[in-house]
Each structure stands twice: as structure tokens, then as C-alpha cells.
Structure 1
Amino acid sequence: MTGEKPPARNTAVVGGSGYPRQVRGSHLLQRLAIVVAAVLVVILVAGVALATVLVRRPLPDYGGETTLRILSSEVEVLRDERGVPQIYADTDTDLMRAQGYVHAQDRFFEMDYRRHVTAGRVSELVGENENALAADRVIRTLGWRRVAEQEWDLLSEESRALFEAYAEGVNAYLDSREASQLGVEYTVLGIVTDLGEVAPWTPIDSLAWLKAMAWDLAANNDQELGRATAVRALGGDVARVAQLYPAYPETQNLPIIPPPDATEPEATVEDASWPAPAGAVDAIESAYAAVQATPRLLGDGDGIGSNSFVVSGEHTVGGQPILANDPHLGISAPGVWHQVGLHCRELTTLCTFDVAGFDFAGMPGVIIGHNAELAWGLTNLGADVVDFFLERVYDDGTYLRGGERVPLTRRTETIAVNGGTDDSLTVASTAHGPIVSGVLPETAAANSSPVPDGSPSPGFGGYAVAMSWTALTPGRTGDAIFALNRAATAEDVAAAAALFEVPAQNIVFATTDGDIGYQAPGRIPVRQDVSDGPVPSDGSWPRPGWDGRYDWAGYVPAADMPRALNPEEGFIVAANQAVLPAGQGPFLTGDWDYGFRSQRLRERLTENIERGVNIDASLANELMNDEANPYAEALVPALLDVTVTDGFVREAVDLLAEWEEEGYQQDGDSAAAAYFAAVWANLLDLTFADDLPATLAPDGGSRWLVVVDRLLEDPTSAWWDDRRTINLVESRDEILLQALVSARNELTQTLGKDPGDWRWSQLHVAAPQHPVLGEGVPAVVSWFANPRPVGVGGGSSIVNATGWDASAEVEGRRDYGVTSVPSMRMAVDLANFDRSLWVNFTGVSGHPADDHYDDQLGAWAAGETFPWPFSRTAVEDAATSTRTLRHPG
């Protein structure tokens, strides 16, 4: 290894915060890692020289020449000082072959791990592990890879050729190397498991990754199942459940496409109201457990989203549009993105790509970036693409549908367990999709569960929950990637969007002709209007599967999906907020991100335009790093109104008064930001922990800000009363005071007695973890495999969206660690692409011993970016190495 890496979790770096809670499913191998790490420590101690050879053996050679028989002509791979590859070829298929080769060089273990996850074969890789087996059972039930196999025949002949070429490139790299040359992880895993041969890469391995993307970015799952779970916890009080899931505040935070008369948003929000279901079911809670067990390779929770905006050339330095994007995804090492340029030396009918941006290892093409005529960014649309159906099932293998008993569809899946006993799983499906309740044996449904009013009698059998999900219908998203890479106009974007079925994403774009636009793609279910049913028919609650009125009635036509081109205000912001005002356009969902990030970006852009400040890529990046805290703006005035007589507590409260004057900036050096975060977490616990189960504990995201903001208007709401205190009914101000006191005491213990010494970055630490050699391993292994943790500013629903979970604890202490991050940032200047900027979360390499494993993390944490060369001249000027891939002829 080169360079100095201090030990991970250095207390001088992270203060007393401890380990942040990881995204669920991201550490399936943790227990195995502890065993493996112990063996690895022995190796390290026994011989540093041997260890150095083992960990450096997989590192690729960026220079020199290689002969590949699969190529039709010579390919060049130029890399800059951060190892970012720019690939030049004469045919599209050679470009994809080279991209596959480069991905295998840089990140093959990551690719292999992902394909095991998406196929429900993690147990086959890691052996006996209860978390791995639970994940395998759920993914086999959903059938991710089965759907990917069906999608292959739907792709165009040209796309199939490109996917095949990509697989050829991966396999060309694998063919001459044993597992230990592909990743140090194989050396480690080989100590305790029998890995066997590394299987060749196939196009289906790539397509299956689209299912993982779609799952992690599917919205509304937690809200739909959460409402049903909350009904039971709240004694059937549907009105109180509604208070936990308020409507989107569209008069406060404008949608992506605002109404024509929108000027200044109002500060009031309409109350939500829901038709009342009678109750929830154990089957639903079992389904909830299955959803929770599914691995999240991109992350999940409130922090999973993105910022994007595009500004007309009328308001930019270069007179052409500026486009910015920063997807918010789970924290990991390496980060989820790889950087690449795919360039035809000459654009011909055989060679049609000249594109650069961010790609996924394992997937051909560029996912977010720009070509020579168009730039595009993606944010999660948040459409409701999943519905859960409560099914009446019988012991004879039938279920109730339309007044008749019809057979369940069944199949058997065998899950191989490395070194253990294979697991046999029977998957049952209804017309609505696979049954997800009971997949995990400990959560099997109980027949005595309460159900919605009007439900058929259980009789012999019981209830189960089936899942309808748009991604379980084969589609052509594989075609859409290439179409978007080649797009040049708004019409081209719309055509690509019609193919981009899952995951449903907002597309913002700009062209060198000066157009800026927005396009919503995605396969969106059409739900029938059931006005007299037991539950709403809008997808917000699990629905009765025996009532055909709740079945989907097809999908929204692509031509009807929302779009905008060159709006009068001169910019577009798409940051997971509502797309259109309620009641306009097709119904997409009622469960949006609540729009605080998007509104802040709108305000900053409007402010600059009104002041006559022309925007460039540097200013666009500055806007993406904005750290104004909307929670503080809503809550601090109420906190300062509370009477605090204790001088010890008053010392901390005084920080908030000063912070108000500073605009509530949640920067890493802020003492007030640290105190406010602790107050917020304690306030949520004091208000809701006595009423809700742990599965519904507030994570502190944007929904909870709206919930609490409304409760502040009702000082005697039942939510303020802490039912854990006997013979005492608390009011709002009593709970606010308790939160102030508890937060003061908490930070005194963790950060010190003097509030002036506190820093938000001491609590709020980004600590990316390797999926195998991550949390819970000996220090020497953690030092090697995990980038140095770094304290950061920002937070949940802040534009610099370094998310954290307000309900998380580690070893009995509250955990403020970062759980999701802006996984990359880019700002594209269409006046001169070489003036564009980008940064990745960690680095381009997936090898822990590689200098490029985490060489961008420091710049990312500081809000900095790097030049993004695109023209051949700029790429050559930036290049520090060239590898030539030659055809044997």
C-alpha cells in the first residue's frame, strides 16, 4: 500500500459518536468477516511482505499493452491522476468490450457480490449466515433474476449485441486470472469457504442489477405497510395515523412543474384525510419484515433521493445551460458510482457514442452524464410502483378472487449454502404477484389477525400478502440506457423515457441548442377509483385482493407523463418533491419527499437570478453544498419561547439564539447544529416512542418535520403526552423543555461540558464500510479496508443531504452517523464541456490497496470538485497513463 491511512474510527477524528448504523442489508457478511479477519490478522502479523503481495496482487496495470482477440480494432484507455478511464474505439461493440474489461479491472468483486445478491445466491458465496439466507429467500421470492431473463428477449437486437460485447470484455479480463488476482476479498473468503471457480459474466448479470436499482428506488413501501402497522399500535385510531402521514405541502414547497400562478409559496399546509380501514393484519407485519430483510445495494430510507437542477443559458456565464446533479444513496466503500468516458474516435454508423459520466460497475453505458449535444441528470421520481394485496388463502392451495377460489401458482427454489445444507423454498403467487408474507419463517401470518371491515371469513387457511411491483413485469430499460446516451433533443429524451420503465426517475436535461427540460419516465400503475371500499384505492394502504375493483387497470401511457420545456422562470429543480400540483396530470403517488431541499434550491436560484448573478459550474456546485436547515427554521422559534430557568441548560439554548441570526447553517463546525440535532432526536423520542413500535420509530426525515410542525400548533395534542409517565399529562412546552434538557445532558457526556466546544462534525461522521471487511473487524483490517471516517456538515432534508437516522443507537448511545450521502456531484457546462466539474464519493477503484480507492473522499467531504475533461485534447492533457488494447491482427 502507498500513502498513509490512519486507523479507521480514530477517536480524534470521530469524537465520541461511535459507529453509525448501517443501511439494512448492506452488511450481510459481517459475521463471516469477523472470523475471516481474525485469520487475516494472523497472516498480517506473520509476514508483512506476504500480506503486501496478497493485497496488491489484484491491482490492475494502467499502462502498457494487452492483446484481446475479442476486439475488432485497437482501443485506447487513458486514465487521469485519479484513475478515471476515458476509452476510445472505432465501434460501439469495442467500446462496450473495453468498458467491461475496465470494470473488471477496477471493481470485479463488487460486480460479483452484486450478482450474487440480485440472484438470491449470497449464501452460495458466504456460507451459513442467517442474514444472507433471509435476503436470499426474499429475493428468490420476488424473482429478480427470473424477470431479468425474461427481459432479454424484449431488448432490441442492437442492445443485446452491446450487452454481449460488455460481457465479453469482462470475461476477457477474467480468463487469464485466478480469483486472488481479481480482488483481495476472494483471498479472504477462500480462507473459510470453498469458492470454486469464478463464473463467467453474462448479460443477464447486468440486467438483474436493474432490479436492485428499481427495488432500492421504489417509493411508498414503508409508508403503505407503515400505515397498516400503525393502526394496530394506535388502537385502530385512523385519524391519528393520518397525522403521521400528512399531505405534501405544495403551497409551501413548490412541485417540479409549478402551477402557472405560483409566485411566493404560502407557509400553510392543508390537512390530510384518509378513508378509514378497520385494522391491520399480522400478515402485513410479516410482509413488512420481508421487505426489511431485502438487501439495499443503493441504500434506503428518507435519505435516498437526489438533487438536480438545470439553468437556462440566459442566466449563465457561458450563455448555455448549466446542469447539476447529486444522487443521494447509501454510504459504502467503494461508493456505488464508477466514472468513465466512452468515445468513438469518429462518429459513424458503426460507432455512435461520445459520452462521459457516472456508470455502474456491471452495467454497460453511462447512467448519468453528458454527450456532445445533451446533458442529463436523474433523481428518484418517487412514484408509487408497489402495492400490497391482502389475500384470503385456503389450506387446499387456493385463494379468493372475484368470488371464486382459484389455485395459487407455486414454484420451488433451492438455495445453495456454501459448506452447509441447501435451503428449499416454496414460492406461492396470486394474480397480484408473489406472496411475501411468511417468507421468513419467524414472521408467518396468524389466522386470528384483525382485517379490514367486510373481509371474508378466514375459515380454513388465513390471510397472506401478495406484492404487485412494476419491476416484476419484464421491460426494456436496458434499451433506454443506450437511447439516453445517444439523445440530442427533447424528443430523443422523451423517446428514451418511454423505454425507461423501472426504476421511475425524474430526468432533467439540457441541450447545446439551449433547451432545458424535464421528463418523467417510468411504468406507473393506473389504479381504479373505489369510493366505497374498506381502504383507499390510491396505493396508500394495503388493499383487499379478493375485490377486483382494486386491481391495476394498466399503466399510464408514456405520452401522458409530465414534462416541461424552457419554463419562463429560466430553471427547473427536481429534488424528489411532488411533480405537479395535486389533481393535475396522472396520479403518481401521494407520498412524496416533502420538498424542503427543492424549495431551498429554488430560493437560491431565484435569488441569484434576481441579483443578476450569472451561474457557472462552480456556483452550481456551491448550491449543491448549501447547508441551511429547514428543521431549525420551523422549530427553533418554538424552542426559544420555552422558559428555561436552569443556567446549565441555558448555556446550550443560547447557541440556538445565535444560530438563528446566522441563518441556521448546518455546517460541520457549528456547535448550535450539534445541539439542535440532539434536541430534534430527543424530541421525536419523547413525543412518539410511547405510542409507536420500534419498527415505526421516527427517522427524523422530511415527513417528521411536517408532522412536528403541525403539532406545534396544538399544545395539548395527545401526541405530546408521554404515556410512560404515571398520573401526568404533558403538554407541548413540557416536552420541548425536556428535549432541551436531555440534549444538553447527552452532549455534555459525549462532547464535553462547554457547549462552545461542540461541533456537528464530531457527531455526524461519514464512515464508508467495505461489505466484507467492514464493521466489526479487528483494527488492522479496518485500517486497510475502510476509508478514514470524516466528519461532515449537512443533514437530512438539507441540500447537502448527508442523511442520518434520529432513531439509531449504538451501544446504548444515540448515533448521528451518516447513513446516506450525495454519492457524487456533477455540474455540466454546455457552453464548454471541458469546464464541467465532478467528484465521486470515494474513488474509481474497488481495491482497498489502490490509491484510487478513496482518493476523492477528502474533496467530496470539503464540497470540492475536480475538472471533468471531455474533448480529446483535454483528456490527453489530463492523462497520466495509457493502456492499449490490441486486436491480434
Structure 2
Amino acid sequence: MPHRNVILRRSLVTVAVLVVLALVATVVAVVVVTRRPLPSAGGEETIPGLSGTVRVVRDAQGVPDIYASTPEDLFQAQGYVQAQDRFFEMDYRRHVTSGRLAELVGDNPDAIEADKVIRTFGWRHVAEAEWEILDAPTKSYLTAYADGVNAYLDGRAPGDIAFEYTVLGLQVDVDAPEKWDPIDSLAWLKAMAWDLRGNYDDELGRAQAFASIGDVARVNELFPVYPEELNPPILDADQASANLAANPAPALGETADGAGASSTASLYDPEDAGLALAVDSAARAIDAVPVLVGDGEGIGSNSWVVSGALTDTGSPLLANDPHLSLGVPSIWSQVGLHCLTTSAACPFDVSGFSFAGFPGVIIGHNASLAWGITNLGADVTDFFLERTSGATYEVDGAWVDLTTRTETIKVNGGEDIELVIRSTGHGPIVSGVLDLDETGSTPVTGVDGEPVRRSSYEVSLGWTALTPGLTAQAIFAMDTSASAQDIKAAAEYFEVPSQNIIFATVDGHIGYQAPGRIPVRDEVSGAVPSDGTWPRPGWDSRYDWQGWVDPAAMPSVLDPVEGFIVAANQAVGPAGAGPFLALDWDYGYRSERIRDLLETEIEAGRPISVAAMARIQNDTFNPYAEVLVPTLLEQTITNTFDRAGQDLLVGWDYSQDADSAPAAYFAAVWVELLSLTFDDELSDASAPDGGSRWLEVVRTHLDDPTSLWWDDRRTVNVVETRDEIFTQALVKAREQLTKKLGRKADEWEWGKLHRLALQHPVLGGSSIPGVVRGFVNPSPVEMGGGSSIINATGWDASSGSYDVTSGPSMRMVVDLADLDRSTWVVVTGTSGHPASSHYADQLDRWAAGETYSWQFTEKAVTAAGKDTLTLTP
């Protein structure tokens, strides 16, 4: 499935002309317009509703530490400060999450498609239902945050709030922004959950691959079993057994038996055009959702924690770097939140990474405990194939009424759009949302009023996040956690997205906890495997979810004997141990490299330091190269010119640094190898993105030189073998890089190909005039790293580009011996204002793998303070 760029593809074309006329008239006009929204970092402001004085101290990077006497004052000030820095980003996000993007940007096809799909999901409706079930403290925090945002907006014209409103106002009507509502914050959690939802792409990918290949066994070869023997899960067998003994849970959802698996072809019939159209239509709808957190190859994270017995201070160290989509402004908003006196009445003394638009800290530490988060990858979505007829759908031979609702999409400067949303008991029907006629999802008229079974299918989405939950409560519970028991209690609220939580305490404990609302699937011998790896027959209720995994049964570890825990999106536990979480995982090459580096330090007797943790975060060792280069060097290339590329691989240490010539060549070989091997049989929708799954596919076929996959079916009367494909890939890569980087192979550099070009979500596209793009988009930077590398600057091998599509959105290392010795950095800066000195002032340091000191104690914050803003009632 192609990666959808965060940028609206058909950006505001009319703006291109108008902006040139209006903003480039004089340099003076540009300066005035762009600097007008910059907030004051010092002085005194009056905010109605505060119960006491609040102090906001900003450091040299503009990071705010907030000091208040009550939680409500603390979060009201956080709302005020984040509105100062990031309101347009917040407003953009709430328009996306409520399916109202066209109200903001106008009659834009991408915006309208996004609105249709998100309205179909009903994120806003779920958030409204969640509000009703939250506890009173959480509601008070969210309300206080909204009050702070609205206090900043009050009396300010759009152009005084953000430069973007001035630009948008040249094309569409821009009114004063609506007041912030607590539901706006809750809806943002739906976007976070959506982008981190698990294996939906693999599930649709199997069906799409089958449409091309028509052979279940060969499709399964494209989705290999997780290689436990190479890359151990987070929990080893003993730890998983101990968890299971303490919290018995049925390991439901195993693959259907042979009869069920072999009958997959009877349902996924490549001759049934209706099924293929429905699956492709669902995939297209999913792809229409703007990327807000992350999507596609490379989305994941690294985290690990080391016991004090192995560190240079005698206290634990914890590292985390979530791999998400990279844009400007950053996904993360750094902040410190401090009650002047920490007590039960005001329990917050926490610092870390928040989301602009939601109160509290998502990842960070307090005075007692630090925690990091990585995507667990649990299978929390299922696509259900539905047989529909008129206003009904089939269940166990009976016809049941569809649930319908009608919503109106308002288009700024255009006509309203009426959208009829239909749902089954499994969830909303997503196929046909963008192309009703193509998929035949127009209701069918029955005979004599009776419904008639359809000859084609529709696809509905089952997703745990569409059930209202308590994730918002989990944020504040983690912010005030001090022990493993506190983290476990918080994890019971952290329902979506399902994440790995690692933690360490000041008093010396380290641990791991898996949270999440995980569906229980029965083992079914039927038309398709029942483990969630293929879209399921919605007309057979045996495939329906049977409830949720008991939170008490979710895997956890405390103080393991080996003294460290690594959670980097690999499998959580050995197959069949504990509750069934998923079968589709990241294949663990990053996690295994982290383990190797930690074990090297331990075996050498070197105590692990903050600096050592940072070095590991920036490691660029490429496991793909370690697997493939020996075979690549076995190939014979007689032509001296062609062999110049292959010669680069001799003696290469497999590091993908930005200035590496062999890294550039190897990446080009990888692209050609994937194309030559799979393009003849897979559609564009199934094209290899080059991520860890594709490495495992190639690795598992290396010892079979005559596998059918090596043969290029486009060559008539020729059957290629592995070595012929490898040789062709070597030669073609040499040709391609000669065109891109020049004839002298030893002068090639990976960073010349692998660049990060951060883009603004609305004004960063190519149709915007260069003067505006240059203003809102930071200059591209050359990067090392790559896919399935610890320094995980992901790229899509099927896209025709080596550009970075995702990466470490932040890096942090927490020193539990002295929290003021901790370090952190984000990809851009604290501000969302392009004219601010803090818009992208952390970018160069982030790209170089460097960090900033992270002050926590009041003494350290005060010493590092550059500006102080006093907020008074």
C-alpha cells in the first residue's frame, strides 16, 4: 500500500498566485505578517479563571516549565502556552480528527476525501462518548486545558494567532477560530491510535497479494513467521511462562487448521472481481486519511532500560526514540509541569513530551519514575467482508438491518456534501466511501421487497478504538506513577493504541508492561484463517470478536536477571505463550542490534553511561547488509565499470553513515533486487516497501537459488535464478547511481540520496510558491541510518525515492541517579510559528545525533531559564 504523505497532495493552487501577489510585494510586508503572531515569552499576562499565580520559565530552546499551586491552574497554563506556540497545528489536527478539514482549507479534493473517511470512522462521536465515562479529575484537567487555550484566543484576530490563517485567508473565508473544547483533545487520541493501530496493512496486503498470485501458500511466504531464533521477543520463554502462570489466559486466535487455511482460495477467488474491488476500495479509503503521527515503513520505536547494576551511576538508565512521521512543527511539544508543593491535591511534578492539544505528558519522567513507549503492534483491527443487500447485511443466513446516519461535510467556498454512513455490527463500511459506483455498494433493490444476496462484497472495519475507552485517564495516571504497581494500574486505562511501556524507578527497579484493549478471536476452522491475518467473512458469526483480553493477563516483567529490557516493536513473547496479541510484528532486527550492543558493553565490563545510551541510539549498522552482502560478493561481474559498485562492498563494516559510498550503493542494490524479484507478480498496491518483512522474505529464500520468486515472469522462455537476479541488481544499481551521483563510485554518499525534507502540513506542498515553501519548510538535511537500523530513518523502496519518510521524532535518555543529567531533543523545535527562532532550532543537532541537557529540578530549571512569563488571575 503506498505511503500517504502528510501533505495534502493537491495543495492550495489558488494560494500560489495570491500569496506571490500579497506576500512577496515587499520584504517589509512579509516580515510584518510573519512576525505578528509571535507570542511574548516574558512579562505578565492576566488569565481569567486561574486560582493563583503561575510561573512559566523558558530555556534557551524555548521549552516551558510551568509552576502552579493546583492541577487546574497547571493545565490551564499548559493550554495557554501551547496555544501561544502551536495553535494552528492544534486547529489543523482538530479539523482532521473531526472530519472537517475542508472547512479549514476549502474545496480541496484530498481534504474532502479525508473528511469522508474520518466521518465514516466517527472519531468525533467516539470522543464525545468517551467524555461521558471519564472520571471527574480527568474531566477537570481537560476542561482547564481548554480554558487556557481559549484564554489565549480571546480577542485575537486569526492573523495575530498564526501566519497560516493569513495565507489561507487569501483563498477562503477565515473566521476567528472556534473555542477549544475538551472533546477536541480526546479526538486527537483517536488519530494517535489510528496511526499506531497494528497490522491493518498486512491484513489487506494478503488479500491484495492473493488477487495477483492466486496461491495461499505463496502469499504466506511474503509474510514469514517471526524469527524467534534470530531476534528474541521482549519476554523470553521463562518470563512468558511466569506471566501465564500468574495470570492464566487462553491463547485464542491461533491459525485455522489445514482445512480452513486451504479453503482460503474458495473465498479469496482471484476471478471474483467484486471482492478484489471491495478490498482495493477499502485500501484506498484508508490511504485517504492524513498522516498525523506516522504510517508506512519505518513507523515504530526503540526503547530500552538498563538496571543500575550495569550502569556507571548504580541507578537505572532509560532510552526512548519513537519512530514516527517527521514534519514541521514536530509531533512532540516539550514541557515541564510542576506543582509548587507536590501532594495528593496537586500530584504533578513531571517533564517530557506532550502533544500540542492534549494536557499532561505522554512520555517522560517525574521525580520517582521514568517511562518510555513503543508501538506494541497488537492486532486491534480486523476487516470484515460483508454481504449486503439494500439496507441489510447477512449474518448466519439471516438479514440484519444496517445502521445508518447522515452527516454533512461543509466545504469552505464550496457546496455542502451529504454523506450516508453505513455500519454493520462489526463497524463502519469503509469500502465505497470514495467510489460508490465502482464497488457496486449502491443499495440493491430486492424482489417483491425481499433482499437479494449480492454478487460482490463490501468491507467493514472492526477497530478497538471505536469503542469508547479511558486512555485519557492513563496519561495522568502515568504522569504520577512511582512504582511498577502504579504503571500496571495506569496500563489498564491505556486501551488504545496498544503500546509497550518500559519504566525505571529512582529506587532502582526496571520493568516492562504491555497495555491495550486486545480482541479475543475464536479458533475457527472455516473459510479463512481466524487469527486476524486475513479479512474475515462477516456473515459467519464464528469470526466475530469474543470480548477483550483481561488486562491482568497482559505481559509484564520486573527486574529481569539479565539486567536490561529491550522493546523495539519485536514480538512480545514466544509464539503461543500468553494471550494472543498478534502474528504480524516488526521482525526484530533493531531490537537484536540493541541487545548486541548492550551485551558487548556488559561482557567487556564497561559500565553503561548516558553517553553510551546515546551512541546506541545513533548506531547505523545495517542488518540487511549483514544478511545479503556475502551473497552479493559471490556474484561474478567481469566488466570493470560495473564491478566498481560491487567493490565498494568488500570490507564494508555495514554502517550506513551519511558519507558512506557502500551504503548508497547497497540501498540502490536493495531497490533493484526487490523490483526484479517481485514486480512481475505483485501489483503496485503490494509492492515491497523494503521494510523488515521484506528482508525476512529475501533472507528465507537465500538458500533456495531456484525459488519461483527469483524467476522474472516478464522474460519469455527464460527462468532466472537467484544469482542472475543478484547480478542484475548489482549492475542496475551501478547504472542508476552513476546517473544520480556520478561515475566515481568511491565518491558516492548515502546522505546525497537519503535526505530529510520536512514539510508543513498545509503550506509545504510543491504548488505553493517557493518564497512561502522556503519560509515554512526547513532546508533539507542529509541523513545516515535507514530502515530496520537503530537510527531508523525509514524510506520506501517502492517509491522511486530514497528520501526519509519517518525517523526518531525525539530522542531521550533519562538518568535515574540525577534527573538533571538526562538528555533530550526533538526533530524541529518548540514553536509552530515559522518566524520563531525556535521553529527548527533543534533540527541540526537532532540530525547530528546530539541532544540538549534536560533540566528537571526547580534549581536547574531556574538556572537555565532565559525568559519568565507570569500568569495571574
- TM-score normalized by structure 2? 0.94
Alpha-carbon deviations, 1:402-443, whole Å to 9, x = none? 221111111001100111111111111111111111111267
Given that 1:392 and 1:458 are in contact with CA atoms closer than 8 Å, whether structure 2 keeps it comes out as no
Q: Which residue of 2 aligns with 1:268?
A: none
CA shift in 2, pair 1:163/1:302, >3 Å? same
In the TM superposition, residue 778 of structure 1 has moved relative to its aligned partner by 2.5
Measure the CA separation in 2 of the matches of 1:618 and 1:275: 53
Measure the CA separation in 1 of the matches of 2:454 and 2:658: 59
1:441 aligns with 2:427: no
In the TM superposition, residue 481 of structure 1 has moved relative to its aligned partner by 0.4
CA shift in 2, pair 1:305/1:326, >3 Å? same
Measure the CA separation in 1 of the matches of 2:263 and 2:624: 30
In the TM superposition, residue 727 of structure 1 has moved relative to its aligned partner by 2.0
Q: Select 2:821's aligned residue among 821, 829, 835.
A: 835
After TM superposition, the structure 1 = structure 2 runs for residues 44-443 of structure 1, keeping only pairs within 5 Å, are 44-234=23-213, 236-260=214-238, 275-278=262-265, 279=268, 281=275, 282-395=277-390, 397-441=391-435
In the TM superposition, residue 350 of structure 1 has moved relative to its aligned partner by 2.6
After TM superposition, the structure 1 = structure 2 runs for residues 778-857 of structure 1, keeping only pairs within 5 Å, are 778-809=769-800, 815-857=801-843
Alpha-carbon deviations, 1:333-386, whole Å to 9, x = none? 111011000001111233110000000000000000000000000000000000
Aligned with 1:863: secondary structure?
Answer: coil
Measure the CA separation in 2 of the matches of 1:344 and 1:376: 20
Measure the CA separation in 2 of the matches of 1:144 and 1:460: 29
Q: Select 1:608's aligned residue among 601, 605, 623.
A: 601
Q: Which residue of 2 aligns with 1:453?
A: none
In the TM superposition, residue 25 of structure 1 has moved relative to its aligned partner by 5.0
Alpha-carbon deviations, 1:221-273, whole Å to 9, x = none? 11101101111101x211110110001001100000122499xxxxxxxxx99
In the TM superposition, residue 34 of structure 1 has moved relative to its aligned partner by 3.7
In the TM superposition, residue 642 of structure 1 has moved relative to its aligned partner by 0.6
Aligned partner of 1:559: which letter? A
Q: Select 1:488's aligned residue among 463, 482, 487.
A: 482
In the TM superposition, residue 299 of structure 1 has moved relative to its aligned partner by 1.8
After TM superposition, the structure 1 = structure 2 runs for residues 635-674 of structure 1, keeping only pairs within 5 Å, are 635-659=628-652, 662=653, 664-674=654-664
Given that 1:171 and 1:200 are in contact with CA atoms closer than 8 Å, whether structure 2 keeps it comes out as yes
Percent identical: 59
Aligned with 1:433: secondary structure?
Answer: coil
CA shift in 2, pair 1:715/1:261, >3 Å? farther
Aligned with 2:10: secondary structure?
Answer: helix
Aligned with 1:434: secondary structure?
Answer: coil
Moved more, 706-715 or 499-508: 706-715
Aligned with 1:49: secondary structure?
Answer: helix
Unaligned runs of 5+ in 1: 1-20, 263-271, 449-456, 810-814
Measure the CA separation in 2 of the matches of 1:491 and 1:707: 40
Given that 2:10 and 2:110 are in contact with CA atoms closer than 8 Å, whether structure 1 keeps it comes out as no
1:466 aligns with 2:441: no
Aligned partner of 1:622: which letter? R
Aligned partner of 2:590: which letter? R
Alpha-carbon deviations, 1:94-115, whole Å to 9, x = none? 0000000011000000000000
CA shift in 2, pair 1:460/1:23, >3 Å? closer
Measure the CA separation in 2 of the matches of 1:99 and 1:197: 21
Measure the CA separation in 2 of the matches of 1:612 and 1:36: 61
In the TM superposition, residue 276 of structure 1 has moved relative to its aligned partner by 4.5
In the TM superposition, residue 459 of structure 1 has moved relative to its aligned partner by 3.3
Given that 1:179 and 1:186 are in contact with CA atoms closer than 8 Å, whether structure 2 keeps it comes out as yes
After TM superposition, the structure 1 = structure 2 runs for residues 400-799 of structure 1, keeping only pairs within 5 Å, are 400-441=394-435, 444-446=438-440, 459-460=453-454, 462-530=456-524, 532-659=525-652, 662=653, 664-776=654-766, 777-799=768-790
Given that 1:32 and 1:126 are in contact with CA atoms closer than 8 Å, whether structure 2 keeps it comes out as no
Q: Which residue of 1 aligns with 2:7?
A: 27
Aligned with 1:113: secondary structure?
Answer: helix
Aligned with 2:871: secondary structure?
Answer: strand
Aligned with 1:378: secondary structure?
Answer: strand
Measure the CA separation in 2 of the matches of 1:200 and 1:447: 38
Aligned with 1:335: secondary structure?
Answer: coil
Measure the CA separation in 1 of the matches of 2:725 and 2:330: 40
Given that 2:691 and 2:787 are in contact with CA atoms closer than 8 Å, whether structure 1 keeps it comes out as yes
Measure the CA separation in 2 of the matches of 1:508 and 1:39: 50
- CA RMSD, 1 decimal: 1.7
1:882 aligns with 2:868: yes
Measure the CA separation in 1 of the matches of 2:467 and 2:440: 30
Alpha-carbon deviations, 1:789-830, whole Å to 9, x = none? 100100000000000000112xxxxx1000001000000000
1:868 aligns with 2:857: no
Measure the CA separation in 2 of the matches of 1:442 and 1:546: 21
Given that 1:437 and 1:443 are in contact with CA atoms closer than 8 Å, whether structure 2 keeps it comes out as no
Measure the CA separation in 1 of the matches of 2:514 and 2:380: 14
Q: Which residue of 2 aligns with 1:12?
A: none
- TM-score normalized by structure 1? 0.93
Aligned with 2:383: secondary structure?
Answer: strand
Measure the CA separation in 1 of the matches of 2:661 and 2:457: 52
Aligned partner of 2:232: which letter? L
In the TM superposition, residue 40 of structure 1 has moved relative to its aligned partner by 1.9
In the TM superposition, residue 548 of structure 1 has moved relative to its aligned partner by 1.1
Aligned with 1:506: secondary structure?
Answer: strand
CA shift in 2, pair 1:557/1:443, >3 Å? farther
Aligned partner of 1:284: which letter? V
Given that 2:315 and 2:816 are in contact with CA atoms closer than 8 Å, whether structure 1 keeps it comes out as yes
Measure the CA separation in 2 of the matches of 1:309 and 1:544: 40
Q: Which residue of 2 aligns with 1:8?
A: none
CA shift in 2, pair 1:718/1:487, >3 Å? same
Unaligned runs of 5+ in 2: 241-256, 270-274, 443-450
Given that 2:387 and 2:454 are in contact with CA atoms closer than 8 Å, whether structure 1 keeps it comes out as no
In the TM superposition, residue 771 of structure 1 has moved relative to its aligned partner by 1.0
CA shift in 2, pair 1:404/1:201, >3 Å? same
In the TM superposition, residue 398 of structure 1 has moved relative to its aligned partner by 1.0
Given that 1:62 and 1:881 are in contact with CA atoms closer than 8 Å, whether structure 2 keeps it comes out as yes
Measure the CA separation in 2 of the matches of 1:423 and 1:200: 24
Aligned partner of 2:575: which letter? A
Measure the CA separation in 2 of the matches of 1:58 and 1:839: 25
In the TM superposition, residue 146 of structure 1 has moved relative to its aligned partner by 0.3
1:36 aligns with 2:15: yes
Alpha-carbon deviations, 1:612-650, whole Å to 9, x = none? 111122211111111100000000000000111110011
In the TM superposition, residue 458 of structure 1 has moved relative to its aligned partner by 7.1
Number of matched pairs: 839
In the TM superposition, residue 712 of structure 1 has moved relative to its aligned partner by 1.4
> Moved runs in structure 1, 4+ residues, more than 4 A?
272-276
